[in-house]
Amino acid sequence: MAYGEQLERKRQRVVDAFAAHAPSLRVAVEKPMRAVRLFGYRNQVKLVARQVRGKFVLGVYKPGTHDVVDVSQCPVHDALVARALEVVRHAVEFEGVPIYDEGTREGWLRYVAVRSSWMRKTTQVVPVVRDRRWQGERRFVERLRRARGVGSVVLNVNDTPGNTIFGEQFVAGTKYDALVERVGGLKLKFHAGSFVQANLSAARRAYAKVIELAAVSADEIAVDLYCGVGAISLSLATTAKFVLGIEASPSSVRDAIENTRLNGVHNARFRAGEAAEILPGLSSELPRVDVVTLNPPRKGASEDVLAAIVALAPRRIVYMSCNPETLARDLERLSAAGYSTTSVHPFDFLPQTDHVECVAAAER
């Protein structure tokens, strides 16, 4: 599809979402911010490892099935990721790695995740394996470690049934077990398992819009929900008096705390836990909350989270979303609580797909 048509279709998806899920709102949906690159943009992939007719495949499930489609050479992968996937393929074949069979639950290698850092021109490879008992593990990790462009190898152990990719145990196979990437004016370190956007060049511009709409001044306090490794929190801290980041993933919070030191930020703190549990206590901990930013998963924010945000009475709520339908639903709920939204700003994070990211501000 021509790129202009892709953008219009994405904008229409946002318009339709608000018509269906927020009929009382009258919002202007801006034209989507174009992606910098239409191909070769994806800095993160998580692929299924499978034997298909005797051939090793790295791919994704065909919709509605468990048939795996080989996408190891997909044109949206960036060059560093594409090269790392070839390294993995070669290492698997050379070392005779046993590939997991979900029917028999035999084999060893289940998934492969790869992330790239253009700041360091390197990649992190995360093989997800069934256990630590395969005798060739050390040789396999060593072959990956020695490959050009691979800076970090981390094994993840997952012996649970189902489609959850990562288990709880991460085992560093190299001295460096994290990547560092530049996002705006920040250097961000993230370990395997911590959330990072799949298109950081697009995310930089969306984060900049969040900061612009938040417009936090030097005497104001901000709370950043679902903060990940701290990209938005630390950006808010450049102008705010104080920022509190809240994130459910302990590994992401550890990275966020390390990123405060990496960037010399002294007015941001991070807390691990569910937003719905932490928010109600903030009124007794903080003198006030002036701005709340949030970037929840696809399911959006729960009614408990939204009610807790409203109870803090911030002057502005800035919402970044990967799902226009739940964004519209949640802004409708905020409207009923006295917060108005006049415009929505879409961003094209993933060209050649129907995905669209949005940023919107709700004023009290």
Cα gap 210→217, rounded to integer Å: 14
Please name the amino acid found at residue 348: D
Interval 297-324 mean pLDDT: 97
- 341 pLDDT exceeds 90? yes
- 163 pLDDT exceeds 90? no
**DSSP character string of 123-148:** EEEEEEES-S--TTHHHHHHHHHHST
What whole-number percentage of the chain has pLDDT above 90?
A: 94
For β-strands 150-157 and 169-172, DSSP reports them as antiparallel
Phi-psi region of 348 (alpha: psi -120 to 50; beta: other; left: phi over 0): beta
- Which domains occur in the chain, in start order? 3-37+199-363 (3.40.50.150), 44-185 (2.40.50.1070)
Per-residue pLDDT band at 102 (split at 50, 70, 90)? confident
Q: In what order do the strands lie in the sheet with 122-129?
A: 68-70, 55-61, 44-52, 109-117, 122-129, 150-157, 169-172
Interval 223-243 mean pLDDT: 97
For residue range 181-209, what is the model confidence (pLDDT) as tens digits?
Answer: 999 889 999 999 899 899 999 999 999 99
What value does the mean pLDDT of the chain take? 96
Per-residue pLDDT band at 177 (split at 50, 70, 90)? confident
Interval 104-122 mean pLDDT: 95
Cα gap 167→178, rounded to integer Å: 17
For residue range 208-232, what is the model confidence (pLDDT) as tens digits?
Answer: 999 999 999 999 999 999 999 999 9
Half-sphere exposure of 181 (CA within 13 A, CB side): 25
Q: Whole-prediction pTM value?
A: 0.94
74 given a catalytic annotation = no
Name 360's bridge partners.
Answer: 319, 344
For residue range 50-93, what is the model confidence (pLDDT) as tens digits?
Answer: 999 889 999 999 999 989 999 999 999 999 999 999 999 999 99
Interval 305-329 mean pLDDT: 98
Instruction: Choose, from 74, 227, 322, 358, the residue flagged as catalytic.
Output: 322
Phi, psi of 162 (to 5 degrees): 100, -170
Q: Give 248's contacts (C-beta < 8 A, 6+ positions apart).
A: 226, 272, 273, 274, 275
Name 357's bridge partners.
Answer: 347
Question: 175: buried, middle or exposed (CB in 10 Å: 19+, 13-18, 0-12)?
Answer: exposed
